[in-house]
Chains A and B, each alone.
Chain A
Amino acid sequence: ETGVTQTPRHLVMGMTNKKSLKCEQHLGHNAMYWYKQSAKKPLELMFVYSLEERVENNSVPSRFSPECPNSSHLFLHLHTLQPEDSALYLCASSQKTGLRDYEQYFGPGTRLTVT
């Protein structure tokens, strides 16, 4: 138990569906992240939110839309996905104090399958 929860844990969706992934952190952190991990590939950073402001968007297609309504919650809204978007989506949080930024705590991930 890392203090970061993600729901749902598994999601199957069609290419025309709209769904959302939810992440919640109970650590009092002020930075949150979305990562994508495709099969047999390294983790790829998608988005960074610091103090609820999106500070990095790693050339992610617009069919992925993040939202950070407060420092404890992070969403990833999905629409018109492609089969190649099937992956493990991981949320992480950290306390932005300078050095400890890199001490990130990850949730268990959402296993997404696009059919």
Chain B
Amino acid sequence: DAKTTQPTSMDCAEGRAANLPCNHSTISGNEYVYWYRQIHSQGPQYIIHGLKNNETNEMASLIITEDRKSSTLILPHATLRDTAVYYCIVPRFSGYSTLTFGKGTMLLVSP
């Protein structure tokens, strides 16, 4: 997978937007950016993915810069239940769908 860089941890107040950055400067033109999160002691949860256009679903929005070297995951109104480790992944197609999880960003949402 293409190397990604994320901050180790971030804090966010409940009800505010959480903006989680990710750098992926070695991304290739046809590689997608995927975001997952893992709440403590649970399995990871798929959030969203994108190529070059901004994407939005019921969970979050994904903003990818024009040069595609970085992206931001936005949780528009963070709740306490959004406290989790968030992973930004750029998988390289290898014939089989393997995801490589790094250390991610620990997001702590506080009251």
A99 to B, closest residue via Cβ: B32
Mask, B16-48, CB within 8 Å of A = 1, is 000000000000000010100000011111100
One of B46, B95, B102, B104 near A104 (C-beta < 8 A) = B46
For A88, list chain B residues within 8 Å (CB): 41
Query: Is the C-beta of A11 less than 8 angstroms from some C-beta in chain B?
Result: no
Task: Please tell me if the beta carbons of A48 and B98 are within 8 angstroms of each other in the complex.
Answer: yes
| Complex Cα spacing A43 to B100, Å | 8
Task: Please tell me if the beta carbons of A108 and B42 are within 8 angstroms of each other in the complex.
Answer: yes
One of B97, B99, B103 near A96 (C-beta < 8 A) = B97
Smallest Cβ distance from A94 to chain B, in angstroms? 6
Mask, B75-111, CB within 8 Å of A = 1, is 0000000000000010100011111111110000000
Task: Please tell me if the beta carbons of B98 and A56 are within 8 angstroms of each other in the complex.
Answer: yes
Mask, A71-96, CB within 8 Å of B = 1, is 00000000000000000101010101
**Majority DSSP secondary structure for residues of B touching A:** loop
For B103, list chain A residues within 8 Å (CB): 42
How many B residues touch the partner, as a band? 20 to 34
Smallest Cβ distance from A105 to chain B, in angstroms? 7
Query: Is the C-beta of B68 less than 8 angstroms from some C-beta in chain A?
Result: no
For A92, list chain B residues within 8 Å (CB): 43-44
Task: Please tell me if the beta carbons of A108 and B43 are within 8 angstroms of each other in the complex.
Answer: yes
Chain A residues in the interface with B (C-beta under 8 A):
2, 4, 31, 42-43, 45, 48, 50, 55-56, 88, 90, 92, 94, 96, 99, 101-109, 111
Besides A45-B100, A107-B43, A111-B41, 10 new A-B residue pairs in contact (Cβ under 8 A), listed by A number: A43-B101, A45-B99, A50-B96, A90-B43, A96-B97, A102-B89, A103-B46, A104-B97, A105-B46, A109-B43
22 contacts between A and B (CB under 8 A): A2-B43, A42-B101, A42-B103, A42-B104, A43-B44, A45-B98, A45-B100, A55-B96, A56-B98, A96-B97, A101-B96, A102-B49, A102-B91, A102-B97, A103-B34, A104-B46, A106-B43, A106-B44, A106-B45, A107-B43, A109-B41, A109-B42
